Structures are given as C-alpha cells and as structure tokens.
Amino acid sequence: MGEIRISEVQALLLMVTMSMVPLLFALTVWVRRRGRVQLRPLPGYEVLRGLAAQAVESGKSLHVSLGRGMVGSGDTAQTLAALSVLDSLVEQGVACDAPPIITVGEATLLLAAQDRVRGAYARMEHPEGYAPTQVRLVAPEPTAYAAGVMDILAHDDVLANVMVGSFGDEYLLMGEVGAQQEIRQVVGVTDSHVLPFAYATADHLLIGEEMFAGGAYLAGRPEHIASLRLQDWLRIGIVLVVVLGVLYKTFL
C-alpha cells in the first residue's frame, strides 16, 4: 500500500474542524443557561408555527410534502431538514387534534417519516393516536408523485401546502396547482433549478441554508441554535481572512 500523505490545506481544515467541536459544545451550554436566544426573523418559519391552529379554525387540512429524497444518499441533508420541520408540524397537529396529510415519494423516506410521526405522538403523550397511514407513499416516479399530490391539493380541502425537502422538475406541477387553488404555500428547497419555480408559486420561501435552520426556529433546540451562531462566526471569520488577504496582496 502506498503512503497516505495529508496536504497542508487538508491538515488546516482538519484542525479547524476539530477546534469547532469544543466551541460548539460551549455554545450549546451557553444557550441552555441563557434560555431563548433571539434569531433573525424568517417569515416562513413564523407562518409554520401557527398553521395547525389556523387549520382547526378554518375546518381545513394541512398538507406536508417531503419530496423524493432518499435517506442515505446525496439528498440526506435536505431530507433530514424536512423531517425536522415535520416534527414541529405534527406536534402542532396532535395538540390541536388536526394531524396533517403527509406525502412522500420514496420508500426509505416513508419509514423515516413514520418514525418521526410516531415520535411526535409519543412526545405529546398521545401514542395511541398514531397510525402508519398518516404518511402516504404516493409514487417513486416523479410525474406520478406530482399527480398524486396535485389530486390532494385540487380535491381535498387544504388550507396550506408545505413542501420542504428534495424536489425536481415535478415541483412545478405541484406548486402550480397550489397557486391556482389559492392555497397558502410554504416551500423549502436547495436545488438551484427548482428555486425559480418555487419563487414564482410560494407565498413564503426558505432558500438554501434557511431550510436547515428548522430545528432552531421551530423547536428552539440549544444545539441547533448554537450551530447557527457558530456558522455566523465562521462566515465573519472567512470574510475577514479574505479581506486581509486582499489588503496584504494589494499593499505589501
């Protein structure tokens, strides 16, 4: 076997990553002691917090689509972010006795979503209310999946349509039907090819990294809030390094 060599850049990245671990732990402890930390307002999450109660008041349903992301693939990050949003929406639904309609387009995502729904019912001390059929596997094929969601939006009495996760071109079909039915739509996507369609059809849009902040904004988990703070510090640090590098090359 050949000798494995670590370059200076790789070593630097490894050192920075390792140094972030104790800092993240310290920030998490600080957030827990301080309590609720003020975060930058994101209208999409503010709307999500009250959707279940509004559905009860209007006598309508809430639809949640988690996309077609496969757990354990390149879509895992988006899928986990979608499941984090699902946790909060299901807990709201259980508290208001108005569980959402949940649709997925992938078998592994079906199992993951069912597990999250079961956990939400357990946390709300209502485990007997859980039913596996609350999560519907529509179809793994994009067009068929879109057709199934479109049928729900067109014929079920839906107050709001929440689509967070991994979506492809099929999003345009679903988003267009939601817009035509004048259904309030909250969308979270990261695919640059889908973002123009989402921008045109969604009332509230969670763009890119905003989608990954659900745990902090909806659940207020200390570790997620600490992670957001750490990311902000890293961005500031990177900007300072770039600016100082430019100044150094320019004047020295």
- The dihedral built from the CA positions of residue 109, 112, 114 and 117, taken in this order, carries a sign that is negative
Mean pLDDT of 148-153: 94
Alpha-carbon distances, residue 7 vs 10, 11, 24, 176, 232 (angstroms): 5, 6, 26, 49, 27
Q: Determine the Cα–Cα distance for residues 152 and 211; give it in Å rounded to an integer.
A: 24
Expressed as residue numbers, the domain containing 148 is: 45-218
In a domain, residue 72? The reply is: yes
User: Residue 183 gets which letter from DSSP?
Assistant: -
In a domain, residue 141? The reply is: yes
pLDDT over 90 (residue 187): yes
Number of domains in the chain: 1
In a domain, residue 33? The reply is: no
Tell me the average pLDDT of the chain.
85
pLDDT over 70 (residue 2): no
Convert the pLDDT of each residue in 121-142 to its tens digit: 998 888 888 888 899 999 989 9
In a domain, residue 146? The reply is: yes
